[in-house]
Amino acid sequence: MGTNIYKKIAVIGGSGFLGKSLLKLLSNENAEIILFTRKKNYQKNLNKIFPDNNIKCIQWNINNLNIIEENIKNVDSIINLCGILFENKSGDFFRVHTDVPAFLGKISLKHKLNTLIHVSALGVSTNSESKYSRSKAEGENQMLEHFPKGKILRPSLLFGKGDNFFGQFSEMSKFSPILPVISRSTKFQPVFVEDVAKAIIKLLKDRKNKNNIYELGGEIIYSFEELLKIL
């Protein structure tokens, strides 16, 4: 395939903040995309955002992973953006962050895909007290166990137009297992969402790089207190 990335690409969970930036880049290059989203009737919304898109939407949910395998004929690459900040019910973190990448690793090997790119998060650890962090780390491990040539991106907090950055912190502080361990001195290195999308494109093109894990942060490191002042 060389550096031509524009065969059929499956994007899992691409209707969120990062997904929209990625779809824009892929659409501008006429990539053929299958977008798996949990949102109902998202095709109409997508057609408004990208009028001349080459994107097919398929609705899925965590209880029907097989629909992904049923619809990846002739797919060259899978990009997994699927993630949640809150659990609606106990176990959701592991169902979404662990079971999904493990499944994608299995079908990528089975169907001999060229590339599987999994977007995780900076600082995740299987030893963390946070279920969010542990589930993300375990998902990375299982994905690579099933598909050793897969690629993992670990971005820091994302920012960009329309991100509602402060709103995310406000909501996360109510429900998320991430924020209770944050103090005013906790350091963050926010990364521009379009830079992360560009990094995904670069990994699609660069098939020779043998590295599995890439950590992405912005140019400036802030304390949580500094971020609050800026926001």
pLDDT at 31 over 90: no
- For residues 72-82, give the mean pLDDT: 94
Residue 182, domain member (yes or no): no
pLDDT at 227 over 80: no
Residue 40, amino acid: K
Residue 215, amino acid: E
> What's the CATH code of the domain at 214?
3.40.50.720
Q: How confident is the model at residue 208 (pLDDT cuts 50, 70, 90)?
A: confident
Q: What burial class does residue 30 get, using C-beta atoms within 10 Å of its C-beta: 0-12 exposed, 13-18 middle, 19+ buried?
A: exposed
Domain that holds residue 45: 8-160+189-218
Q: How confident is the model at residue 180 (pLDDT cuts 50, 70, 90)?
A: very low
| Pairing mode of beta strands 191-192, 55-59 | unpaired
Residue 179, domain member (yes or no): no
Residue 156, domain member (yes or no): yes
Residue 180, domain member (yes or no): no
Number of domains in the chain: 1
Paired residues of 3 in beta bridges: none
